Structure 1
Amino acid sequence: MTSTTERPAPRAAKPPSWWERQGDLLMRRPFSEFTFTHMNWLMPTERVHRGEVHRPLPADPHRLDLTYRFEGQDHTLAELHRHTNTTAFVVMHHGRIVHEYYPGMFAGPRVRMQLFSVSKSVTSLLIGIAMAEGVIDSLHDRVIDYRKDFLGSAYEEVTLAELLTMTSGVGDLEAWDVPDSDIKRFEQAAMGGGDLTEVVKSARRRVPAGVAFNYSTLDAQVLGWILEAATGTTLAAYAADRLWRHLGADRDAYYWLTRARPRTALGAGSFNATARDVARLGLLMTHDGVVAGRQVVPRDWVRRSRGSDVPHLAVGALGPSGYAHYGYANQWWTLGSSSFDAFTALGVHGQYLYVDPSADVVIVKCSAWPTQDDERRDRETIAALRRISDHFACTR
């Protein structure tokens, strides 16, 4: 008789700890209503000082009784806010606040909101300023021209132009519900104390650079690191001195920082500011980068952010990582092909900075969606924002 030894049953995989899952917990409703307005209570931060000059925004309140059409039915703005979990809503026309509403449990005019990937559009503005100052030479500069430690990574030869248009070809499809995806590893490293730089360096090339759009938080994070390397200062300090202090903002903004040292801001997603101050950024974009007679962001850089003539960045051509009603340009989402069409900054969970230069309308919508992405909620939001913009365009 031959004896046999039974193999022990394989152990079940250890469930992730609270520490590893904190990103998921902080972004889950109803907790997110609190966390999206109190990130400075939860993470290390660096302040973006507003400076000495304060310019109050004039107000001309309007009742917005209009309806918008979505999926064959008419809806009110009250329904929009209910359907899309609005927390803050500011509408500006001709530089005046014409409508303001804060349905969020913890929101208000002085509350700083977690803006997620609206931060990417802020980083783009800072890159434009740095180029005008000459501390960044060219959009054709490579990542390793500023960050030698990226030598040997898939990012080493990627150019600033490719990062700005998210055509680096590096990284997988951004999927928040896939446990080991690049974006989940990025989130866990940022919030849980991991090495964020190593996460980005480990991303693999999927396609050649410059040929296809793939929405990438990693691309935007590399842009922020390039800016810090080029300027020799932190993202928050540069933003304060070159941008925020010129806006006449109500409050200091802030970036939350990674837990691990050396701590770093997420130029891709950790900027926090009041809804009114975000609206001031929109005014900057409608006025070709000028604030109170001062050219803060180069005019050509603002125009570059409003649209692109590159075919694979056109509206409807972005592929699986962009909704069909968007194009992309310079870390902004475009809604048309000309520099006078509406465009928007976007953040997960429903953050919007919507700018319509032709109508001279700026709309800020902060939200607490139950999931990071929601194509239907996004389509409904854009339908409503377009309707509001059209309303004011007709009343000029």
Structure 2
Amino acid sequence: MRRGVMVAGALVAGAAGAAWLWRNQAEILTRRPVNEWTFTHISTVLPHEPVPRPPIPRPLPLRPRELTFTYEYGGARRTLADLHRRTFTTGFAVLHRGALVHESYPGRFASPRARFQLFSLTKSVTSILVGIAVEEGALALGEPAVTCCPELAGSAYDGATIDDLLQMSSGAAFSEDYDDPDSSIGQFERAVTAGGSLLDMARSMPRAAPPGTRFNYSTMDSQVLGWALEAATGMSLATYTASRLWAPIGAEYDAYHLLTRRPRVALGGASLNATVRDAARVGLLMARGGEVDGVQVVPRKWVDRARASTPGSLGADYPGHYGYADHWWTLDGGAFTGLGMHGQILWVDPDADVVVVKTSAWPTGDDPDLDEETVTALSALVAYLASSHSGA
């Protein structure tokens, strides 16, 4: 009898433990040291849809060189190796004048073939796709989101336009607080990993402001934008990415979009996984005004829109060195970046003709100090390359 009670107790405890793990898997998978593995193997954890590479990739010219620049941070002079160590870099590539001048993979599971989870850097790629869809006539910036997503009629998203979603000003209340498990983003992550309806979540969100009047960084705005893009084009996010972006840039490897467990839905703001080199090809496309080999893939005016926000204009809740436009973060000097939690960055500086990709495995989703050091270091790197006369 006693043994039976013990076995039953163990089973109950085991079931409770399994349930806890299931509910908290997002938290477990994104913390160090597990996240270094997760961020290159997440296709083994969640369902996904492939983004096939084209039959013939577009080669990146190789002009390797040593990057001997330094940067000042925290009262000390630091090197690129310091940046990688201090900010948990997993993959790193630099393009200058269209050539790959530096590439390294400090991460334990990283390599040129590894597909990295880009998190919210996906938002910037979704913005590129929206620009293409607008040029094709499938979407219009002034179009109400509910025209494409009638399921959201009567919700906080009723009245928001495609442009409002691009500018993160839908008016729907969404809290992007990574430190609070009960925030909107915490609930969003649990719905993705443990099963839940993002549509139901979007429908239930309260309104915080009239559409188009207040900036509020929101992954749900990007989610609705992705739904609108899929509805307008009649293609899944992965299929549209493959045909309109991966093929024209001559991507070297397949990418993939993560899908939620139940129901299976792509994430317009957080699901793209790609190699560092292919992310760099996306950056090169934007640095060259939307052109690839003389073909206008993205309208030039759309690229210009991504640079159209003044840094420091977002208010006290956001770092002063950033502005925001069309799902891109803007910086002084004309550079703009795609950013993802845990330290993913696609830095584009058209004037200096520099593109930098940095994937990372930060211990937490958001870290202002690590962000500030990365921006400081990459600004110094761009200045170093711009002043170099070595022919790189």
TM range (shorter): over 0.9
Identity %: 52
**Equivalents in 2 of 1:99, 1:328: separation in Å?**
28
**Equivalents in 2 of 1:170, 1:278: separation in Å?**
30
Counterpart of 1:229?
231
**Equivalents in 1 of 2:358, 2:113: separation in Å?**
15
Aligned with residue 206 of structure 1, among 175, 193, 208: 208
Query: Structure 2 length as normaliser, TM-score?
Result: 0.93
SS in 2 for 1:212: coil
Return the offset for 1:215: 0.7
Counterpart of 2:291?
290
**Equivalents in 1 of 2:214, 2:78: separation in Å?**
36
Does the alignment pair 1:42 with 2:38? no
Aligned with residue 145 of structure 1, among 144, 147, 170: 147
Which amino acid in the other structure matches residue 54 of structure 2?
G
**Equivalents in 1 of 2:82, 2:69: separation in Å?**
12
**Equivalents in 2 of 1:391, 1:139: separation in Å?**
39
Return the offset for 1:317: 2.2
Does the alignment pair 1:124 with 2:127? yes
SS in 2 for 1:166: coil
Query: Could you list the runs of 4 or more consecutive aligned residues of structure 1 that deviate by over 3 angstroms after TM superposition?
Result: none
Return the offset for 1:173: 2.9
Counterpart of 2:31?
28
1:125-204 correspondence runs (5 A)? 125-136=128-139, 138-204=140-206
**Equivalents in 2 of 1:91, 1:273: separation in Å?**
16
SS in 1 for 2:72: strand
Counterpart of 2:9?
none
Return the offset for 1:52: 1.5
Does the alignment pair 1:345 with 2:338? yes
Consecutive unaligned residues in structure 2, runs of 5 or more: 1-15
Counterpart of 1:72?
75
Q: Is the 8 A contact 2:47 2:258 kept in 1?
A: yes
Q: Is the 8 A contact 1:214 1:321 kept in 2?
A: no
Aligned with residue 385 of structure 2, among 371, 378, 392: 392
**Equivalents in 2 of 1:72, 1:165: separation in Å?**
36
SS in 1 for 2:71: strand
Q: Is the 8 A contact 2:174 2:220 kept in 1?
A: no
**Equivalents in 1 of 2:178, 2:371: separation in Å?**
17
1:57-96 correspondence runs (5 A)? 57-96=60-99
SS in 1 for 2:57: coil
Return the offset for 1:292: 1.7
Counterpart of 2:253?
251
**Equivalents in 2 of 1:211, 1:195: separation in Å?**
28
Query: Structure 1 length as normaliser, TM-score?
Result: 0.92
Q: Is the 8 A contact 2:51 2:242 kept in 1?
A: yes
Return the offset for 1:180: 2.1
* Residues 143-184 of structure 1: CA deviation (Å, up to 9, x unaligned): 111111101100011111111011112123311222221111
**Equivalents in 2 of 1:267, 1:248: separation in Å?**
22
**Equivalents in 2 of 1:383, 1:307: separation in Å?**
21
Q: Is the 8 A contact 1:182 1:203 kept in 2?
A: no
Return the offset for 1:66: 1.3
**Equivalents in 2 of 1:89, 1:179: separation in Å?**
30
Aligned with residue 369 of structure 1, among 357, 362, 365: 362
Counterpart of 2:104?
101
Which amino acid in the other structure matches residue 93 of structure 1?
H
* Residues 344-366 of structure 1: CA deviation (Å, up to 9, x unaligned): 00000000000111110000000
**For residues 351 and 323 of structure 1, do their structure 2 counterparts lie closer, same or farther at Cα, with a shift above 3 Å needed?**
same
Superposition CA RMSD, Å: 1.3
Which amino acid in the other structure matches residue 386 of structure 1?
S
**Equivalents in 2 of 1:320, 1:225: separation in Å?**
31
Q: Is the 8 A contact 1:215 1:321 kept in 2?
A: no
**For residues 268 and 141 of structure 1, do their structure 2 counterparts lie closer, same or farther at Cα, with a shift above 3 Å needed?**
same
**Equivalents in 2 of 1:300, 1:68: separation in Å?**
34
Counterpart of 2:7?
none
* Residues 35-86 of structure 1: CA deviation (Å, up to 9, x unaligned): 0001111111101111122112111111112111113321111111111000
Q: Is the 8 A contact 1:215 1:322 kept in 2?
A: no
Counterpart of 1:301?
302
Counterpart of 2:328?
332
**Equivalents in 2 of 1:173, 1:38: separation in Å?**
28
Return the offset for 1:321: 4.2
Return the offset for 1:322: 2.1
Out of 208-217 and 386-395, give the one that drifted further.
208-217
Return the offset for 1:219: 0.4
SS in 1 for 2:93: strand
Q: Is the 8 A contact 1:155 1:168 kept in 2?
A: yes
**Equivalents in 2 of 1:321, 1:18: separation in Å?**
32
SS in 2 for 1:89: strand
**For residues 108 and 210 of structure 1, do their structure 2 counterparts lie closer, same or farther at Cα, with a shift above 3 Å needed?**
same
Q: Is the 8 A contact 1:182 1:199 kept in 2?
A: no
Which amino acid in the other structure matches residue 209 of structure 2?
V
Counterpart of 1:4?
none
